[in-house]
Amino acid sequence: MALMKFTNHAIQKDKWQTMIQERTESGLSIKAWCVKNQVSEGSYYYWLKTIREDSLLQAGTLAVTGGTEFAELSMNPLEAKKKSQGVCAVIHFKEIELVIHNGADPETLETAIQLIKQSC
């Protein structure tokens, strides 16, 4: 039974990924697209959230704790000065702002850009 639920979820997720992509490419607002395609906004937002969370989990950037936690990060002062020697680029997309500093880690940048692509 659990395998059947997982399979159904995977099928629905694939279907909704396609639908969300179609909505994005249509240029319509979410509300207008949902009305046009006879889809409830609640379902649309549920699957958008589910797909985003799954993407973050796959990227390793969302803990499976179910909650939000913050941790203080510290860096060697000499290393911090070296890494904060200016902003290399700022990317604005929808309500997302990605600030890239000189010396940014390439793997972190790749993950951030992939997450932005997936939010399209």
pLDDT in tens, 18-75: 999 999 899 889 999 999 999 999 999 999 888 888 877 776 655 555 555 666 666 6
Q: Are 52 and 44 in contact (CB under 8 A)?
A: no
Whether 69 is covered by a domain: the verdict is: no
**pLDDT at residue 79 in the model:** 59
Please report the pLDDT score of residue 66 as a whole number. 54
Count CA atoms within 13 Å of residue 75 on its CB side. 8
Q: How many CB atoms lie within 10 A of CB 23?
A: 20
Kindly state whether residue 68 falls inside one of the protein's structural domains.
no
Residue 66 counted as domain residue: no
46 and 91 co-located in one domain: no
For residue 26, the surrounding DSSP H or E stretch is helix 2-26
Beta carbons within 10 angstroms of residue 34's beta carbon: 19
Contact status, residue 88 vs residue 102, Cβ threshold 8 Å: yes
Number of domains comprising the chain? 2
Q: Do both 8 and 55 map to the same domain? A: yes
Q: Which residue has the higher pLDDT, 45 or 89?
A: 45
pTM (2 decimals)?
0.47
Number of other CB atoms surrounding residue 20 within 10 Å: 20
- 51 with 83, same domain: the answer is no
Is there a domain that residue 90 lies in? Answer: yes
- What is the residue range of 102's domain? 77-118
